[in-house]
Amino acid sequence: MIINTTDIGFYKRDLFKRVQLEHLFEDQKTFADALPLMDTKIIEARYREEVQKPGFDLKAFIYEHFEIPRYQPRTIEVQIKKSIREHIIGLWDVLTRVNTVPRGSLLGLPYPYVAPGGRFDEMYYWDSYFTMLGLAVSNRIDLVEYMVENFTYLINTVGFIPNATRNYYLTRSQIPFYAAMIKLLQGLKGEEVLGKYLPALEKEYAFWMHGAEHLNPKDYHYKRVVRMEDGTILNRYWDDEDAPRPEGYAFDVKLDTHKEGFYRHIRAACESGWDFSSRWFEDEKDVRTICTTDIIPVDLNCMVLLLEKTLLEAYEYIADTEKADRLQNVVTMRIEAINKFMWDDELGVYRDFNFKKKKNTNAFTLAMLFPLFVRISKPDRAKRVLSFVSEKMLNTGGLQTTMVNSDQQWDASNGWAPLQWIGYKSALNYDDKKLAYAIKKSWMDTLEAGYERTGKLMEKYPVSGLPVVLDAGGEYLNQDGFGWTNGVYLGMAVADMENTVITHN
């Protein structure tokens, strides 16, 4: 069995760069995921020798020295007579992967996991939470627990949860949903879950807050933490590398503005999960103006808050009153800061905050719902947010991600399963059942119409109307499978009541 791993340094060397810049494969992720058939240093030495010879064939050389992934969707044969629920439940085993040893760029994990589908064969961070919603409904508690164990393993071995389980993702994480996973598992298995995963929760929190203790008015930002003018510590997205992404090498190089930190802004947007969106651009139509690391995102800080609140609950569970009291103060300060820096009272919405410019960004996005999702918005503010979303962002096919039409996939008129769930739950949290039902019905109708036409469930959907179009913008083609789409559909299908286990957030 081939278990060669790809040397991380390989992504910065001539052979890799040439293959990507010459677009040998249509999808840049393909070669980043290719499995070397021998040590990459040996392959590079052979390349340096062979490339000097007349008639050198790069493609032939690559196929001789690498096993190339095909990204077959591996979905079950479509029988439209099956209901969409039956189809999804049948997909769980199809999308389940077992990779216990490293292979190429793929990291080894101790337990099975559900992959998103299509080109995404590895385990992704925030995708997995929304996939778990459907697994819980399907009574696949085994897979929910396996995936939580895998994320815990990553925290304990890597030191954090990477964007996904490829070695080229080891410089960044993703919006932190680990605490939400623990809360979901707590609802399924009981309070003891808090004690079991407390050490991992602490390590996850330490990763996001790394360097916070050294911030001061002069050196006020470091990696993922920023000290605001009032002394409060908030978070931003980051990446430890400032170089083109291996999985998007040619795309990044083509865009390069030679502005300091440009590649880090690109990579930090990937850490957000919103790659890419006008949300991160100074000029909403121009990706080259990306400034992700200058922005304090409302959704990130709400999810770090949920992590803090889950830690607080765990400390109370084990009766560590000293740590609980200390963390309660931190929780209170973050709630106050989110409502201070990210609330726009004139417009009645939450918006990201550019700490370099000391003002809110111009973007109106569904991230405004996260304070409602974690239940920290005052009722009068929540009412204004939900009214704005209902009037401006709810379309015939679901919630559109932003109010900007662009060629970026995390913009209008695309809708994404995780944000439909955030909107649905946010409306329920503040007793707006009419909006919750409208979000649920419009999104489920979109998925059902697409499934009836194609027999597939996709990564994202345009929500501007029916009939459903299955591709609309982005760095790569729309993928089918699809983990979080499946999970949210099943979650919405049963989660009408507050006491359902999957309503924990």
Active site amino acids? 275, 459
Q: CB pairs under 8 A, 24+ apart, for 149-154? A: 149/110, 149/111, 150/109, 150/110, 150/111, 150/113, 150/123, 151/125, 151/178, 151/181, 151/200, 152/197, 152/200, 153/109, 153/110, 153/111, 154/107, 154/109
- E strands, 38-118, in order: 66-67, 96-97, 113-114
Question: DSSP secondary structure string, 194-234?
Answer: HHHHHHHHHHHHHHHTTTGGG--SSS-EETTEEE-TTS-EE
> DSSP state, 394?
E
Element containing residue 460 per DSSP (H, E): strand 460-462
Question: DSSP secondary structure string, 112-165?
Answer: -EE--BTTB-SPBHHHHHHHHHHHHHTT-HHHHHHHHHHHHHHHHHTSS--SBS
- Give me the half-sphere count of Cα atoms (radius 13 Å) on the Cβ side of residue 297: 28
- Angle between helices 483-494 and 433-454 in degrees, nearest 10: 130
- Angle between helices 141-157 and 125-137 in degrees, nearest 10: 160
Cα separation of 331 and 427, whole Å? 23
Question: DSSP secondary structure string, 338-358?
Answer: HHHHSEETTTTEE--EETTTT
Which residues have a Cβ under 8 Å from the Cβ of 242 and sit 6 or more positions away?
261, 262, 263, 264, 267
Residue pair 8/16 in contact (Cβ under 8 Å)? The answer is: no
Cα separation of 295 and 280, whole Å? 8
Cα separation of 262 and 291, whole Å? 8
Burial class (CB in 10 A: 0-12, 13-18, 19+), 243: middle
Element containing residue 36 per DSSP (H, E): strand 35-36
Cα separation of 331 and 321, whole Å? 15
Structure tokens given for 296 = 């304090």
Which residues, listed in sequence order, are joined to residue 416 by a DSSP beta bridge?
A: 460
